[in-house]
Structure 1
């Protein structure tokens, strides 16, 4: 007997360093093992609550998947009593938090294929987990690591001042970034701000100077871990996304040089819309239009017929440069 939950179950996972992570899990209740049903892990964007993805997770669940969505350390359900002085960065989110969720998926959903949906930095974090070779398919939305030169030329100065000047200055004063008070996103740990505001074209070079310096061997290890991902990837981006520009998305895809990737670029006008932006893909109003693209990819590794007709343009891959 196979029953579909109406509401998600609370999720509690402990990372390798002992940090408690929390989230939500949508799973089918069944009396027998379901090795053919994929379990999908949703990696949120930087400082975005896992509950933001609940509508999309429920949609995937209704369409036959088990789904896990969680908050990184320092965010939402996984937030400590105080962020002042709390140290957590993108390396922690990928190497510890996402890795712990992959291990949980493997143990609690034995034999089921593991797929990943990564939004923004959530797509980049896939490359940091030691178990990423076990992932069978990836769908990403606007995935990149916020290199400032990839911002649109007309918005570059404004975004540079906002995210790479104002944010680190406030963080230096308070010990964390009070984004929620500003109405921007969730409050953000200091280490994440340091990673976000670094000006390195390659992610691993973020740690060549500043507060956290990695050895050359450690940086080579990061490169190798990105290369360990070998499953097919569909990277979706939209033309009015200030973060997910063609240059930014392609830069990240080149890091996953063992993964056969497809970059689908969608213009809001092709759907009769004025805007989509960096976040709106996960709003339920896109269930009839954009969500079927992700569903077809996660189910079959292919694009729906509608994409070939009027929605989306395939961006040609660029050569790997590291």
Structure 2
């Protein structure tokens, strides 16, 4: 594992890690993280794929993990910037350093939603979507819908306005988020357009993407519904060619997958689902 410091077009340092295999199969997999999820969550998964010949890159968006500023309040970041600038710095690096590799991108949650914000998403041969959807509250199940209305309608904007950033860790929602990342997340939940509500505020390349996409949804992911997943593919990335895979809890050795735990080492046998797709 090699640490990389990449510089975005607006001079922000993005910390990434490169996992090089002992014997390369000339295939590269970039991992776009979920909201507020540090790249270390994906390290075991990345090592597993590296042992199977893949070159893997993980990274933290600005404001998250190793790409976090000393002071969060007033820091300029948004999900739209994650897609248009941070993700772009990774594709620039990949095009320069690995031009002749087969290229794949795994988008976990928001990591799939930002694909349409970067024209270079076209370089990938295929996408893997894990735990992602158009997250509009109307797609959610009743209990989660109530939590979403209370959390994103009241608690999140109040705490964000008070502190100048969103202390997501207070609510078990991962890393704290810069203010505009929190507001973009609120758009995804409360605006009926969801992902399209962000894409219309930025250069939108989503319709240019026509690759295969392997879409994975965990049976016990309470924040995800089939309706939301299908909406993302039908209403946002409608030129992609999806194959869907529902992962049941009985396939997990701990009987636990949820929104993030697919990438925990105790679910290592589930990683073969993606490995078999890419080989």
- Contact 1:139–1:297 (CA under 8 A) maintained in structure 2: no
Q: Taking structure 1 as reference, are residues 235 and 204 closer, same or farther at Cα in structure 2, changes over 3 Å only?
A: same
| Correspondent of 1:169 among 115, 134, 158 | 158
Which deviations, in whole Å up to 9, do the C-alpha atoms of 1:137-172 show, x marking residues without a partner? 111111124321122123210232123321121001
For residue 269 of structure 1, report the CA deviation from its aligned partner: 3.4
Which deviations, in whole Å up to 9, do the C-alpha atoms of 1:235-265 show, x marking residues without a partner? 1001221222111111111221221111212
Which deviations, in whole Å up to 9, do the C-alpha atoms of 1:273-293 show, x marking residues without a partner? 5432111100111112x1111
State TM-score, norm by structure 1. 0.80
Rg bigger for which structure?
1
Q: Secondary structure, in 3 states, of the residue corresponding to 2:69?
A: coil
Equivalent residue runs for 1:1-322 within 5 Å? 8-28=1-21, 37-198=26-187, 199-202=190-193, 203-206=195-198, 214=201, 218=202, 221-222=203-204, 225-254=205-234, 255-269=236-250, 271=252, 274-288=255-269, 290-299=270-279
- Contact 2:62–2:68 (CA under 8 A) maintained in structure 1: yes
Unaligned runs of 5+ in 1: 1-7, 209-213, 300-322
Q: Secondary structure, in 3 states, of the residue corresponding to 2:125?
A: strand
Q: Taking structure 1 as reference, are residues 179 and 271 closer, same or farther at Cα in structure 2, changes over 3 Å only?
A: closer
Aligned to 1:320: none
CA distance in structure 1 between the aligned counterparts of 2:276 and 2:177, rounded to whole angstroms: 34
CA distance in structure 1 between the aligned counterparts of 2:87 and 2:185, rounded to whole angstroms: 18
- Contact 1:121–1:145 (CA under 8 A) maintained in structure 2: no
CA distance in structure 1 between the aligned counterparts of 2:153 and 2:2, rounded to whole angstroms: 38
Q: Taking structure 1 as reference, are residues 97 and 206 closer, same or farther at Cα in structure 2, changes over 3 Å only?
A: closer
CA distance in structure 1 between the aligned counterparts of 2:150 and 2:223, rounded to whole angstroms: 14
Q: Taking structure 1 as reference, are residues 185 and 272 closer, same or farther at Cα in structure 2, changes over 3 Å only?
A: closer
State TM-score, norm by structure 2. 0.92
May I ask how many residue pairs the two structures share in their alignment?
275
Which deviations, in whole Å up to 9, do the C-alpha atoms of 1:202-224 show, x marking residues without a partner? 2232487xxxxx4xxx5xx42xx
Q: Secondary structure, in 3 states, of the residue corresponding to 2:26?
A: coil
CA distance in structure 2 between the aligned counterparts of 1:270 and 1:67, rounded to whole angstroms: 25
For residue 230 of structure 1, report the CA deviation from its aligned partner: 1.9
For residue 184 of structure 1, report the CA deviation from its aligned partner: 3.4
RMSD after superposition: 1.9
CA distance in structure 2 between the aligned counterparts of 1:56 and 1:201, rounded to whole angstroms: 34
Higher RCO, 1 vs 2 (CA within 8 Å, ≥6 residues apart): 2
CA distance in structure 2 between the aligned counterparts of 1:259 and 1:145, rounded to whole angstroms: 15
For residue 55 of structure 1, report the CA deviation from its aligned partner: 0.5
- Contact 2:62–2:86 (CA under 8 A) maintained in structure 1: yes
Q: Taking structure 1 as reference, are residues 105 and 206 closer, same or farther at Cα in structure 2, changes over 3 Å only?
A: closer
The structure with the largest helix share of the pair is: 2
For residue 180 of structure 1, report the CA deviation from its aligned partner: 3.0
